[in-house]
Every structure is written in structure tokens, then in C-alpha cells.
Structure 1
Amino acid sequence: MNLAKAWGREGVSVEFVLCRNEGELISDLPPDVKVTDLGAARMRSALLPLARYLRNSRADVILAAMWPLTVIVPVAARIAGFKGQVVVSEHSPLSIAFKDRGRMHNIALRLSMRLAYPLANQRIGVSRGVADDLASLSGLPRSNFRVIYNPAALGVSLGVGEQTPDLLAGAPGPVIISVGTLKRVKRFDLLIRAFSEIPSHFRVTLCILGEGNERAALEQLATSLGLQDRVLLPGFVTDPGPWYRAASLFALASDYEGFGNVIVEALEQGLPVVSTDCPSGPHEILCDGKYGRLVPVGNAAALSDSLVAALQEKPDRELLKSRARDFSLDKISREYLSLMLTSKRSMT
């Protein structure tokens, strides 16, 4: 959505073609953006409706994000005789994301990529690690994949008269914040266990923004560790900016990330970062530890030690903010436009 807004400012007409016209952010779409509803109950049933749509589309580019859409869209475009560019963008190391789906799913994943990716004009990974993984899975040369990072730095600054979120206003000491969907791969359970090992004299509060099916388990874990008053789970917030700005430290404990938008969001606020060195975005964003601490995946003790060390340091906030600008919306928007468009001025 942010890219669509940036492209609109460049005079590019943008249309969202959705399997279903629903979702938390639908109401936030720019008023001049057209939305087409394919009426597809599931992604795999979108092939023919999408082909029918593309047969009559005059768009210059279609951009599809995330498997299986990244294999459905090139096939639909070929069926429709679509004349524009087909661009696919993957946001996750798929070999890790689907490793527990079984042998047949793995075969289907590899085969679909091998057959459909060559039908696309451009193939994008949101980190070098993702691009490497895509090449390995598909059997295509690594040179067939471009890396364009996510536009996670939006140029948001402290609002005039902004108030600290009420839930954090009464925190007795530093606040460690983490942000993400409450699901297993994000390992908020590991973060809570690491947090429990921080000495009590730091008087630290842990705030985890997000919603998901792990909420009940995380609340139960916090209670079992006697941390129910120090681990806050406010749920999903549309604008996490004030929460970042009220915190002292950002933590990410994921088993894997395609990129790690939340790390850039934290850096943009000058917030020091402690992250697991998981595949594949964090070490690229943090330049192997130059801009934040990296710890082994799944190691609560190492994570806790790094949190304590970071809490005792004085961060160079301007250095952190300067790194975030490498992932600015304007910069990444131009990279996409340079890749996808020349004199063309519309895209889907």
C-alpha cells in the first residue's frame, strides 16, 4: 500500500486485484486506487478469474507477491496473452517456511517454481538470503533474481504533542518492545523466557505488539513465570510509531524472517536492536552486527545476555537512523519503478 501511494505520486496508475476484497487495511487504500475483486475463495481458484481479467487488462505491469500467487500469476498471464511485464516478488525463505509440509508439498513447490518463474519477466527477493533460496529451490541461475529490500522506513517523525501510549506511560523503567503476528515462527515464547532472566533491578517491561493464535499460550507462559504484570500484549495497532518512540530497546526472536520490516522501523526511530541471526534479513539489515546485536537462533540465554548488554549501552541514535534510510520508501519505490517501467505509466 505504501508503494502504491509512492507510485501514485510519480503519476503511475495503480490497481489492486484481490482474490477477495477484504482485510484490515482495505479502508486505508488511497481513494484514487481501483480495487478489483476476483471473487476467488482460495488462491488456487484464482487462476481462471485472473486470466479472464488479464485478457482485457491494459496494464503495463502486473506485480505478484508471495507463493503460490507468484506461480499462479505468470501462468494466468500466459493463458490470457497478457502483453505487459510480469513481475514476481517473494518475501520469505520458502525452503524454511514450508519445510514441515511433507515431501509431496516440497516437490510441488520446486516444480511450480521451476515451471512458472521463467514465464515472469522479473523475479525479486526481498533479501539476498531469500534470492539465494529461490535460486536453489527453482534450479534457476542466481542471476535470474534481483534483490529489492522492503520499503520499511516511511519517514515518520515524532508528532507534535504526541503522547506516550497509556499502557507504557506508567512503566517503572526501560521498555523492551517487539512487534509481529503472534505466531510460532516469531518465537515470542523465547523472548519472554529471555526476558524472565533479566535481573529484577533493571525494572524492565516487555511490550509485544501484534495479534495471533499464540496469544493464549503467551499469556499463560508469562503468568507461569510470574511476569503477568511486566509482559504487555496490547494487540494489533495501526501505527506502532508512538510505541517504538516510548521504548528503550527493540528485540526480535524469530526463527526466520524474509526481511524484517520491524527492525528497520525500530532503527528509523533510533532504537537499538537485538535480533536473532536468523535467515535471512536481520544480518543484512544490521550489517553483521554493525547496527545491532545478533544472537544465535533459539538461544534464550544468549538473547537475555544481549538484552542486558544493550540496556547498559548508550546508542548512537543518528547512526541507527542513517541505516534505516537505506530502506526508505522513496528509495525502494524508485528501484521498483526502474526495474518495471520505462515510459509505461500504469500497473496492477
Structure 2
Amino acid sequence: MEKIALIINSLSSGGGERVVATLSQGFAKNYDVTIIVFNSNNVDYDFGGKLIDIDCIEKKSLIGKSYNLLKRSYKLKKLFNREKFDHIFGFMESANYPAILASRETIASLHIDFHFLGAIDRLLISSFYPLAKRVAPVSDDIASSLREQLKLNNVSRIYNPVPFQELETLSSEPFEHPRKFIIAVGRLTYQKHFDLMIDAFTKSKAQQDCDLIILGDGELRQELEAQVQALGMEDKIHLPGRLKNPFVYMKNAEFMTLSSRAEGFPMVLIEALSLSCPVISADCPTGPREIVQNDVNGFLIEEGNQQILTDTIDKLFYDKTLREKLSANARRSVEHLSVENICAEWVALSKQT
């Protein structure tokens, strides 16, 4: 049986971590799967195969990060030499750099537009990614940037997978909310631009008849809670934190909104659509324009434009016929992203010479 290694910092929350857990379950049906992490605290997702923790937790200082890169690479190289993996897949920059140093057979998955990364990460990408066997960005836009800006010729886009059956099961759990609501999901960070979403919802007519629920946690929680309080919207805008099962909210929401300044290939949009939940998304770099089809499964709007977001919220909330049409189209618009299809793409890419 062929052996697959999946390398990632941890399996604690986050879209990339969920992708690795999902892929591991798909691969485990036909392969010997090992997930290699640097920190096994707070494993939040079910996974397939076995988990190996090489115990190299994140360091904050530049010196600490440099030392960690070498230490992780050394430990990975020893593990690769011992296990003789047939396929090595890295996920996110903290895992990709040491994996590439440890083996030129690594295929590195890139989950965000490299322009949105810091100067150090951009330098590291420019230095390390040409050495990888292949680089597998999660969107065509990221792939184009890598080819055009970094002149990489080892780039092949692979989208993220969707575990349809698992999402259906989780979304069917009992749920109640006293009012109709729309939903947003993501870390409470600058990138997600939730302050704009809060302003847009507050100025909408829809706020008279529905709530906004923002699922997630992060460093901007206090600022966002203060914004909600200053607007007098505590009864209509809710921030319950990061929940293990956001899918029951997606299933019962009128629609989802995404206001990000940048993404990679936003799984929350895919997950919502797979549960027949229409979406409104900022046309940010990168990913949403490859997911959202205007007036088919949702609406793609100008990034950073609060007025357009407000108007689109009202348009979709008060037009039930439109919502039903978008909902009917949502699931089939993402069916090509099945776990089986995406796992096959990873293996086929690895076997290319």
C-alpha cells in the first residue's frame, strides 16, 4: 500500500487544518496515511490514518522561527528517511518550508495570496517554492500570481475538498434561534473585515427583521464587541465565538456573507453552498470569483464597499423567490469538489514526473 504524509503545524481549528483532516479521511480508504504535526495540542477535527507529533511548537521571535525551521526540517528528514513515503504533501507556509528543505519531493499547498503575507513569508516563498516538486495553490488566481510574479513553472492548482455527507450529518443537529438570521464565519482578524460587515448590516433594512450571527474568535473580538455596543446592536448582532459545528447555522441561515480583504479559497463559502445556503461575497483576492456565480448561487460584490453590501443584504433578504432560486442552485455548483475527486488530483499530481 502506498504511503502518504500530510504535514501541517497542527489540527487545531482553521480552514487549512480542516482540509488536511478531510483529505486524510479520503486518502485512508486506499492509502497508508500519516499526518505529521509540530504541535498536537487541541486536535479539533476527526482524521484518517495516524498522527505523529514531532514536537516543534511555534516560536515568536525571528531567531526562534529560524531555529524552528532548521529543527523541523531535521526531524522531518529523519522521519521521511525512515518511513519512505510515496507522496509528501505540505499545507500552509509553516509546514511547507521545512518539508521542502527535508525533501524536494514535497508538494506544497498555498492557501492565501502571497501578496497578503508579510515580507518575510514572501521572501521565503520566493526562495523555497521553486525547490518543491510542485506548488499546489488553492485557486487559479493564486496560481496566476505565482507564475507571473515569481516566474514559477511548477504550479498546479488544486481546490479544497468538501465532505458532503459529514456536513449534512452535522447540519441536521437540533437548532433554534428566535429570529431569522444571516451568518458570517471566520477568525476575528483584520483580514476578514468584520467591522465593515457590522456597519453594513446595521445600516440595512433587514436588521429590523433578522439577526447577524458572526461565528469565530480572534484578536479583534473586543474591538468588534465594542463596535456592536456603540451601535446599540447587541440584540441583533451576535458573536458566540468559535463553535465546533457551524454547519447547523449555515443550514438554517437565510444566507451567508463574506466581507474579507483577502482569502485563499474560502471554504466557508463552499460549505455554505453545499448546504444550499446562498452567499454574498466580496470579490477579494483570491477564490470567491471561482466559487460565486452571480445571480446563480449568490452575489459577488466589490470588496470594501459598505453601501453595496448593505444594498445586497436587503435585496436578498426581502426577495424570497430569489433566495429560493439561489438555494436550489447552490449544492450542484460545488459538487465537483468531492473528497474523492480532490484526493485523486493530489495523487495524480504527485505521480507526475
* 1:259 aligned residue (251, 255, 265): 265
Report the CA distance shift for 1:289/1:185 in structure 2 as closer, same or farther (over 3 A): farther
Distance 1:339 1:160, change over 3 A: closer
* Mapped contact 1:114–1:139 kept (Cα < 8 A): no
1:199-214 map, 5 Å: 199=205, 202-214=208-220
Alpha-carbon spacing, 1:74–1:159, altered in 2? closer, same or farther (3 Å):
closer
SS at match of 2:83: coil
Query: Is the CA contact (8 Å cut-off) linking 2:283 and 2:300 kept in structure 1?
Result: yes
| Residue aligning to 2:175 | 164
Cα distance in 2 for residues equivalent to 1:46 and 1:160: 38
Listed as ranges, the gaps of 5+ residues in structure 1 are 79-84, 343-348
Residue 298 in 1 paired to residue 316 in 2? no
Q: Which residue of 2 aligns with 1:242?
A: 248
- Structure 2 residue aligned with 1:41: 57
For residues 30-56 of structure 1, the C-alpha deviation after alignment (integer angstroms, 9 at most, x for no partner) is: 4xx222222213352412222222222
Corresponding residue for residue 108 of structure 2:
88
Residue 343 of structure 2 aligns with an amino acid whose one-letter code is S
User: Do 1:257 and 1:281's aligned partners in 2 also have CA atoms closer than 8 Å?
Assistant: yes
Q: Determine helix, strand or coil for the equivalent of 1:244.
A: helix
C-alpha distance after superposition, 1:110-156 (max 9, x if no partner) = 3x334432332221010011112222443323xx2111111135233
Inter-partner Cα distance in structure 2 for 1:200 and 1:126? 34
How high is the sequence identity, in percent, across the aligned residues? 27
Letter in 2 for 1:16: I
Q: Pick from 268, 276, 282 the counterpart of residue 288 of structure 2.
A: 282
Amino acid at match of 1:339: L
- 2:330 alignment partner in structure 1: 320
Q: Residues 262, 201 of structure 1: CA spacing in aligned structure 2 closer, same or farther, 3 A cutoff?
A: closer
Partner of 2:97 in structure 1?
71
Residues 1:332 and 2:339 aligned together = no
Give the Cα–Cα distance (whole angstroms) in 2 for the partners of residues 158 and 6 of structure 1: 17
> Partner of 2:117 in structure 1?
97
CA distance in 2, matches of 1:13, 1:161: 32
Gaps (5+ residues) in structure 2?
Answer: 1-20, 59-67
Which amino acid counterpart does residue 29 of structure 1 have in structure 2?
Answer: F
Q: CA deviation at 1:341?
A: 4.8
CA contact (8 A) 1:210 1:235 kept: yes
1:185 maps onto 2:205 in alignment: no
Do the aligned residues in 2 keep the contact of 1:283 with 1:289 (CA within 8 Å)? Answer: no
TM-score, normalization: structure 1?
Answer: 0.84
Q: Within the alignment, does 1:113 sit opposite 2:125 as a pair?
A: yes
Name the residue aligned to 1:129.
Answer: 141
Q: Does residue 8 of the first structure (1) align with residue 19 of the second (2)? A: no
Assess if the C-alpha contact under 8 Å between 2:206 and 2:313 holds in 1: no
Aligned partners of 1:25, 1:159: CA distance in 2, in Å? Answer: 15
Letter in 2 for 1:77: S
User: What's the CA shift string for 1:289-316, capped at 9, x where partnerless?
Assistant: 6432111111111111111111123232
What residue number does 2:65 align with? none
Q: 1:161 to 1:322 in 2, by over 3 A?
A: closer
What's 2:223 paired with? 217
Instruction: Name the CA shift for 1:64/1:244 in 2 (closer, same or farther; >3 Å).
Output: same
CA RMSD of aligned residues (A): 2.2
In structure 2, which of residues 255, 275, 279 is the aligned counterpart of residue 273 of structure 1?
A: 279
Change (3 A) 1:321 1:200: closer
Distance in 1 separating the partners of 2:187 and 2:268: 11
Tell me the equivalent position of 2:12.
Answer: none
Change (3 A) 1:57 1:262: same
* Structure 1 residues 297 and 52: CA distance shift in structure 2, 3 A: same
CA 1:89 to 1:322, structure 2 compared with 1: closer, same or farther past 3 Å?
same
Secondary structure of 1:124 counterpart: strand
Q: Does 1:20 find its partner at 2:39?
A: yes
Q: How many residues align?
A: 317
* Displacement of 1:17: 1.1
The range that moved more, 189-198 or 128-137, is 128-137
Cα contact 1:272–1:310 (8 A) shared by 2 = no
For residue 59 of structure 1, what is the aligned residue in structure 2? 85
Whether the 8 Å CA contact 2:281–2:292 is kept in 1: the answer is no
Cα displacement (A) at 1:160: 10
Amino acid at match of 1:130: I
